[in-house]
Amino acid sequence: MPELTRRRALGAAAVLAAAAGTQTVAAARAADTGHHGGPEAFDEVYRGRRITGRAADGGGHHHEHGAGYAVFIDGVELHVMQNADGSWISVVSHYDPVPTPRAAARAAVVELQGAPLVPLGMPMPMPQQ
Predicted confidence (pLDDT) per residue in 61-73, tens digit: 444 555 689 999 9
Return d(Cα 31, Cα 104) in angstroms, integer.
15
According to the model, what pLDDT value does residue 121 have? 74
List, in sequence order, every residue forming a beta bridge with 54; answer none if it has no partner: 70
Q: Which domains does the chain have, with CATH numbers?
A: 32-112 (3.30.1880.10)
CB of 88 within 8 A of CB of 82? Answer: yes
Give the percent of the chain with pLDDT over 90: 50
Return d(Cα 80, Cα 89) in angstroms, integer.
6
Reduced to 3 states, what is the DSSP secondary structure of residue 98? strand
Report field, pTM of the whole predicted structure over 0.75: no
pLDDT bucket at 127, cuts 50 / 70 / 90: confident
